Structure 1
Amino acid sequence: MGCGRIADHGFLADGRSAALVDRAGSVTWWCPARFDAPSVFARLLDDDAGHWSIRPEGRFSTERAYLTDTLVLRTVFTTATGSVAVTDALALGPGARGHEVGLHSPRVLARVVRGLSGEVPLRMHYRPRLEYGRMVPQLAQQDDALVVIAASTRLDLRTTIPLVCELGEAFGSFTVRAGETQRFTLGYAPAYDAGPPAVLDAEQAIDNAAEGWRSWIDLHDYRGRYREQVRRSALVVQGMTYRPSGAVVAAPTMSLPEKLGGERNYDYRYAWVRDFSFTLEALWRVACADELSLHVGWLVRSMGMNEGIVPIMYGVEGERDLTEHHLDHLAGFAGSRPVMVGNDAWRQRQNDVHGEPLAAAWLMRQFLDPMPPEIAQLLRAITERAARDWHLPDAGMWEERDAERHYVSSKVQCWTALDRAVRFGSHLGSEADVARWAAARDEVRRAVLTRGWSDRLSAFSGAFDSDEPDASVLLIPLVGFLPADDPRMRSTIRVIEERLSHNGLLRRWEGDPAGFLICSFWLVSCLVLAGERDRAEQLFERLAGRVNDLGLFAEQIDPDSGEALGNFPQAFSHIGLINAAGDLTDLDAGRHILSPAPQPLIPADQDNSPGT
């Protein structure tokens, strides 16, 4: 049958993992143990890799929406004989509210079918395939559950309809009339050293999940511009948070292609340090200050103190070895191969990794006074690395695998690390340390302004001594390296729009197969900083309209067809929306977008860094 389009999917989450459900009522992706664990449903990547569908027999039309302020999905199927609603949720801990949402997941996928009008014949098809489709499990009836125990996985399916079992799958045909309800739950537990999966009533689980998500968003009452889009994006980012550690995964999926039929099909179920400062800024925007310590704690525990290359990404519990391998038995989404598990970007040198933690710490500086020793030690070590390694070539923030280069955005983020360390002053080092960091910062600045500028391009280029444009240099004003209204940045913004923009979407570089949403939102912020309010608003609203019908962004969008591409949903894209909306709000309020913290840790007269 296939899995349709990437944008056809809805997103469910429980603080440990996520499930994707398509418009035809099929769960096409679920890795119940945690985001980066092996799947039990992976039809997203191959028709034979497992799914769980509940859908009408025959022809139908579909309308769907999340229940207000939740990640609970309601899909209405309309047929010639009537209509039914299928409501889906990953269960939350019973009674979990506010900041407790997602901390204790029962790991149960709940589904409820309710008749709305007439009568509708439906068919359920349950086809678990473990280990990314490698294993066809046996199904056995035990008391009131259809049980799978295979490899390290146990699944218990409970339904209110009769089932017919065949090898490795089960079917059920049933009719729902107006006012009638059928309930389904699928619970997961490890096969060993654990009890059976939790037993929950499907309707109660869905109601509890809805109340849980609403209680969380009510604590984060963003009152700025584009409030509904920001609240939806905040829920999505929270849904991609592994609550036990505080890690935010880039996406809950793997190997969805940047280009249909292409080879850039990466596993994004990990947490990138690069995303860290942007994530914290987004949480700040939606008033999530109480949760910042959770995310900072994950970073401190994960990064530790390294002598070699600083890892740029980690598993959700801080794992470092994310060695990549291919699943050759899977066809890939729309035939896009290879299908990859793991991501060898963990081996790369990416010097921008030094800037993000320091930028995040400076953003939340009012919460770091006094500076906890373990955070001060980490920030100091990162600063020393930036001072030592900024001149080295690296793979860049787009993680190129062919050769290392002197990427301008990497140098700028080393400057950011050194600049914020100087601003922290005695909180991180001695007077001599601060002077040394300031000297290194100024050296980086001179190098970027000379070797990063291309007279031929009339813009900052992607790498030193290059004439190729790259959208990553839009970070220059966002981190305060140069003002956006500096003539060099105005020219750079103009060149990037002329060379990399198509149908309102920015590509990362010339030849990039699709528009990259975070870059497009960076452009919004640059326009805000440059004082071009009307253009910033127009671009933001065009971008915000690129979501699917559930308000979800992929990583990229084909600027010609409008098709969503890349892993889905993508945290970076939603973070970009939140931060750009916040920048537009700050413009209205007369606030400077680089200084969202109301009370600086260091009084202005003690800040010995030069103005930018």
Structure 2
Amino acid sequence: MEQPAISDYGYLSDCRSGALVSRTGSIDWWCPDRFDSPSVFCRLLDPDGGGHWRLAPSAVGYPGHRVERSYQPDTLVLRTVHHTPEGSVAVTDALAAEPGARAHDFGLRSPAVLLRVVEGLSGRVPMALDYRPRPEYGLLTPYLRELPDGAVVAVAGPVELVLRCAGLPLRAEHDRVRHTFTVEEGQVLGFDLAYASGYGNPPARLDPVRALADTMLAWRSFREDHRYDGRYPEMVRHSATVLTGLTYARSGAITAASTTSLPERIGIDRNYDYRFCWLRDFAMTMRAFWVAACPTEASRLFEWAARSIGRVGPDPVPVLFGLEGERDVSEHSCPHLRGYHGSGPVRIGNDAWRQRQLDVPGEVISAVWRLRNRLGDQLAAEVRDMVVGLTEQVAATWRLPDRGIWEPRDRERHYLSSKVLCWVAMDRAVRLAPQLGEGADVRRWAAVRDEIRATVLRDGFDERRGVLTGAFGSPELDAAALYLPVVGFLPATDPRMRATIDAVERELGSADGLIRRWDGDPAGFVLCSFWLVECLMLAGERERAARLFDRISGQANDVGLFSEQIDLATGAHLGNTPQALSHIGQVNAAWRLTEPTAE
């Protein structure tokens, strides 16, 4: 089969796991236990061996078939309307909330049930169901057994799945279920697919129609706490909902994306597992949550980070953790999977956790600074120890090379953005000193901060070109320099910074406003593009910033989702999806356009 484009997928979440459903009605990705657990469907990464669940009109892909889809307002419940020559039918998809769960209870005890409700809108529409589970990333072929009530149970290794439809008996065909039926105008059929551990409690049993209504109420209850009064309210509310849907409710961690191994360019091996929580994204995420008026999510994320970091010692803090704070997320590949459009290898785990990345403490301490008013005049002992420990770590290590924020796997360099985040760590620690008690060595910290700044402006500035470069001693530009005005290292109006902004836009940008990270980067990086919006605003170019924001936001797919990158020539989405950093960038840029001085 021909694999759908990445932008063809909608995203479902129960704040425990995520699923992707294509425009043609096929659920091609679901890791039901939690975001980073083994999949039961991964046709996304192998069209033949990955497993899927397709539910759509038989006419999908033939002349006369047309699709319209949208999220139900303020939810991640996806409604797809299929118009066919025989009539129209709607399929509404969701991952179920626990019955009665509301707002921040959503996801704590999610039942791991996929809901699919079919509604006849007009005519008589022939439908086709094709269900082919393949647990553990396609390694397992389950036994399928029919139950007396018309359901089908699939058992393989540690997994048990039960597929049901009230009033429609299902029949197993060896390793799959295929069924055709007709839906008439006004008819409603509810399907549910429930997951459970093979040796735990049995899969939950829900009424799909009732559970779908309850799930929509659960999503909408978030809006009672999340009130945003700035520009672009619909976009911000939607991105905030996506970020909530990427949050692992049990711990408060936010996963960078719901997928693994979707490539930065088709046919190359730059494809990684993003189903973990990066500390680097921490301060940006906290800012986005505050902008979108999500204080509970911000506080829970902070608590997760403090617990995951633990007592700070001499060793670098890992850049990423598992969703419950696991440090060892060692990487391995799945040679039995071909990869998206043949772009292997498929990776599980991410060895970037082993890298030295000097920017991480700056992100964490910056987040403490942002939360300072909520944390009180005297920080809790654990938070004080964490900040002091991270600050001392930066003071001792900032002169070392590292892998930088883009995590290259070749060699370490003296990346400018890493040094700037070291400056951020020392600067915010100095400002936090009154809340840190006796552990704060303000005079020494301020001296280190000033030394870092002087070093960056001396060794990171190319006198010949008049711009700040990506690494000391290198003439190459890096779009990460756009982050400098955002964190307050240099004003956007400073001649050195202004020249750098112009050079990045000219040499790394495109007509659509998308910004590549460096020369040779295969596609525009959505976050960097939104950083440019913020830089233009901080430089006083409000109208141009607003136009750029509109162009970048227009690159989202038809249901408002961003992947990590966008092909400059075709507009195709690339990289893992939905990408938290892309939506974080949109939220923060929208707020910058609302209030230029907001921090």
The TM-score range, normalised by the shorter chain, is over 0.9
Q: Contact (CA 8 Å) 1:162, 1:172: kept in 2 or not?
A: no
Deviations 1:565-596 (A, max 9, x none): 00000000000000000011113xxxx233xx
Matched with 1:425 is: 433
| Aligned with residue 305 of structure 2, among 282, 299, 304 | 299
Q: Distance in 1 between matches of 2:3 and 2:214?
A: 30
Matched with 1:600 is: none
Q: Distance in 1 between matches of 2:159 and 2:219?
A: 28
Q: Contact (CA 8 Å) 1:324, 1:343: kept in 2 or not?
A: yes
Matched with 1:483 is: 491
The aligned amino acid for 2:30 is: W
The aligned amino acid for 2:221 is: S
Structure 1 residue 338: Cα displacement? 1.1
Runs of at least 5 residues in structure 2 that lack an aligned partner in the other structure: none
Matched with 1:216 is: 222
Q: Contact (CA 8 Å) 1:456, 1:467: kept in 2 or not?
A: no
Matched with 2:140 is: 135
Change (3 A) 1:432 1:89: closer
Matched with 1:70 is: 75
| Aligned with residue 521 of structure 1, among 520, 523, 530 | 530
Deviations 1:317-362 (A, max 9, x none): 1111111111111111111111111111111001010110111111
Structure 1 residue 143: Cα displacement? 3.7
Q: Distance in 2 between matches of 1:457 and 1:166?
A: 67
Deviations 1:89-137 (A, max 9, x none): 0001111112222222011101010100000011101100011011111
| Aligned with residue 511 of structure 1, among 500, 512, 520 | 520
Matches within 5 A, 1:80-91: 80-91=85-96
The aligned amino acid for 1:485 is: T
Matched with 2:555 is: 546
Matches within 5 A, 1:240-279: 240-279=246-285
Q: Contact (CA 8 Å) 1:217, 1:235: kept in 2 or not?
A: no
Identity %: 54
Matches within 5 A, 1:391-540: 391-430=399-438, 433-503=441-511, 504-540=513-549
Matched with 1:384 is: 392
Q: Distance in 2 between matches of 1:186 and 1:324?
A: 30
Instruction: Please report the TM-score for the alignment, with normalisation by the length of structure 2.
Output: 0.97
Task: Give the CA RMSD over aligned residues.
Answer: 1.1
Structure 1 residue 430: Cα displacement? 3.4
Q: Contact (CA 8 Å) 1:112, 1:202: kept in 2 or not?
A: yes
Structure 1 residue 485: Cα displacement? 0.7
Matched with 1:177 is: 184
Deviations 1:519-576 (A, max 9, x none): 0101111111111111111110101111000000010000110000000000000000
1:26 corresponds to 2:26: yes
Change (3 A) 1:412 1:429: farther
After alignment, is 365-374 or 350-359 more displaced?
365-374
The aligned amino acid for 1:51 is: H
Matched with 1:601 is: none
The aligned amino acid for 1:17 is: S
Structure 1 residue 164: Cα displacement? 2.8
Secondary structure in structure 2 of the residue aligned to 1:521: helix
1:289 corresponds to 2:295: yes
Q: Distance in 1 between matches of 2:205 and 2:536?
A: 52
Secondary structure in structure 2 of the residue aligned to 1:351: coil
Structure 1 residue 310: Cα displacement? 1.5
Q: Distance in 1 between matches of 2:383 and 2:116?
A: 43
| Aligned with residue 559 of structure 1, among 547, 563, 568 | 568
Runs of at least 5 residues in structure 1 that lack an aligned partner in the other structure: 595-612
Q: Distance in 2 between matches of 1:293 and 1:532?
A: 34
Q: Distance in 2 between matches of 1:456 and 1:166?
A: 70
The aligned amino acid for 1:546 is: Q
Q: Distance in 2 between matches of 1:289 and 1:162?
A: 46
After alignment, is 566-575 or 372-381 more displaced?
372-381
Structure 1 residue 432: Cα displacement? 6.5
Matched with 1:327 is: 334
Deviations 1:237-277 (A, max 9, x none): 00000000011000000000100111101000000001111
Matched with 1:122 is: 127
The aligned amino acid for 2:434 is: S
Structure 1 residue 142: Cα displacement? 3.0
| Aligned with residue 116 of structure 2, among 111, 121, 125 | 111
1:147 corresponds to 2:142: no
Q: Contact (CA 8 Å) 1:101, 1:216: kept in 2 or not?
A: no
Q: Contact (CA 8 Å) 2:164, 2:170: kept in 1 or not?
A: no
Change (3 A) 1:114 1:446: same
Matched with 1:94 is: 99
1:162 corresponds to 2:173: no
Structure 1 residue 290: Cα displacement? 2.8
Structure 1 residue 473: Cα displacement? 1.1
Q: Distance in 2 between matches of 1:584 and 1:343?
A: 35
The aligned amino acid for 1:290 is: T
Deviations 1:274-299 (A, max 9, x none): 11111110000011123322111110
After alignment, is 59-68 or 245-254 more displaced?
59-68
Q: Distance in 1 between matches of 2:331 and 2:233?
A: 39
The aligned amino acid for 1:279 is: T
Q: Distance in 2 between matches of 1:391 and 1:494?
A: 29
Secondary structure in structure 2 of the residue aligned to 1:411: helix
Deviations 1:496-528 (A, max 9, x none): 111110121100000000000000101111111
Instruction: Please report the TM-score for the alignment, with normalisation by the length of structure 1.
Output: 0.95
Q: Contact (CA 8 Å) 1:395, 1:403: kept in 2 or not?
A: yes
What is the count of residue pairs matched by the alignment?
A: 589
Q: Distance in 1 between matches of 2:231 and 2:475?
A: 38
Q: Contact (CA 8 Å) 1:3, 1:22: kept in 2 or not?
A: no
Structure 1 residue 385: Cα displacement? 0.8
Matches within 5 A, 1:300-319: 300-305=306-311, 306-319=313-326
Q: Distance in 2 between matches of 1:432 and 1:496?
A: 38
Matched with 2:56 is: 55
Secondary structure in structure 2 of the residue aligned to 1:96: coil
Deviations 1:37-64 (A, max 9, x none): 0000000000121000001113322111
Matched with 1:581 is: 590
Q: Distance in 2 between matches of 1:8 and 1:218?
A: 31
Q: Contact (CA 8 Å) 1:28, 1:44: kept in 2 or not?
A: yes
The aligned amino acid for 1:102 is: G
Secondary structure in structure 1 of the residue aligned to 2:136: helix
Secondary structure in structure 1 of the residue aligned to 2:143: coil
Structure 1 residue 429: Cα displacement? 4.6
1:228 corresponds to 2:251: no
Deviations 1:151-177 (A, max 9, x none): 111111111323231221111110000
Secondary structure in structure 2 of the residue aligned to 1:131: coil
Q: Distance in 2 between matches of 1:552 and 1:143?
A: 41
Q: Distance in 2 between matches of 1:573 and 1:276?
A: 14
Deviations 1:449-468 (A, max 9, x none): 10011112311100012110
Q: Contact (CA 8 Å) 1:380, 1:429: kept in 2 or not?
A: no
Q: Distance in 2 between matches of 1:150 and 1:339?
A: 22
Change (3 A) 1:148 1:433: same
Deviations 1:304-326 (A, max 9, x none): 12432220000101111111111
Q: Distance in 1 between matches of 2:464 and 2:506?
A: 15
